[in-house]
Chain A
Amino acid sequence: MAKNLPQLTIINRLNVLRADRRLTQEQLAKDIGVTRATIVAIEGGGYNPSLELAFRVARYFNADINTIFSVEEENQ
């Protein structure tokens, strides 16, 4: 692992978008082809999805990927 690099934290608005569309985690998971546990993990920030899944989520919500996922730099 590279040292002295800033820690990047991925933040997502998945739960906001899901709530806007009145979708359950189970429904969203089914529609984008993952398990509900994965949706729970992404929303909780415990798991960062792959680019492929991130794009799939963006396409599903018909939104730009940057509006769903953004990066925050943590100073060490």
Chain B
Amino acid sequence: MNRADSALVKVFLYGLPIIAIFGVFSYSYNTGIIDHATGTAQFVNKLAGLLYAIWMTLSIVLSIRLMVSGPSRDQVLSRFTFIRERDEREVMLTGKATKTTFLTTLAILMFLFCISCFQVSIYRVPPEKAVDGKTGFVTLGLTCNLLENSKQAGAHNDEFLKQDIFTYSGLPISRTAIILGLFIWQICSYNITMRRLTNKV
């Protein structure tokens, strides 16, 4: 690993806990109060913002470097994911564990894709809008929006005083949570599979 890669990895790893502390701090305190604070609090806030910006920039540089450079990827990501290939048997086990992780991740992605496309709405309409005397409705739908906020114009035109009982329109978790979840899943799945295989073979 060359010096630049080594420095980037150190900044990324050592910066993570600091960023986590800042994250907890900013979540715990109202950011509006910090913005209007003076003195030490304002200085800490500005310093935190600067450090976060530097860390984020270097992390992006590191991720691009890992995407384009094979040797760096092997050395750096192997260290992150605790991959050890000391001999041919461990190389074989790594392959098996990676295959399991890839396939389970693919299954999770398929599941997430399906439930993100699925829409359910259960609602009640006023008696004057009843259809065949029925005021309760269940609508099922499938959607495949490739762009965020690509809702059709005029979608709210028929929102006539309907009383929502239950509505599900896509995943209730944020993109950040999904990415973080997949990130943790990849590492955990690989390590658990590797441990299981090591005990078996």
- Residues in A lying within 8 Å of B, measured CB to CB: 33-35, 37-38, 41, 46-47, 49-50, 52-53
- Report if A35-B88 is in contact (Cβ < 8 Å); known contacts: A41-B201, A46-B201, A47-B201: no
**Bound form: Cα–Cα A49–B201 in Å:** 12
CB distance from B71 to the nearest CB of A (A): 21
Is the CB–CB distance between A49 and B200 below 8 Å?
no
Instruction: Given contact pairs A33-B87, A35-B89, enumerate 8 new A-B contacts (beta carbons under 8 Å).
Output: A35-B90, A38-B88, A38-B90, A41-B89, A46-B200, A47-B89, A49-B88, A50-B88
Q: What total of A-B pairs shows CB separation below 8 Å?
A: 27
**Bound form: Cα–Cα A34–B86 in Å:** 7
B198 at the interface (CB under 8 A from A): yes
**Bound form: Cα–Cα A46–B89 in Å:** 11
Secondary structure at the A interface, as helix, strand, loop or mixed, is loop
**Bound form: Cα–Cα A52–B87 in Å:** 12
Chain B's interface size range is: under 10
**Bound form: Cα–Cα A46–B86 in Å:** 18
Chain B contacts with A in 80-114, Cβ cutoff 8 A: 86-90, 92
**Bound form: Cα–Cα A35–B93 in Å:** 13
**Bound form: Cα–Cα A41–B200 in Å:** 9
Q: Could you jot down 10 A-B contacts, CB within 8 Å?
A: A34-B87, A35-B90, A37-B198, A38-B87, A41-B89, A41-B201, A46-B201, A47-B201, A49-B89, A52-B88
Is the CB–CB distance between A34 and B88 below 8 Å?
yes
**Bound form: Cα–Cα A53–B86 in Å:** 13
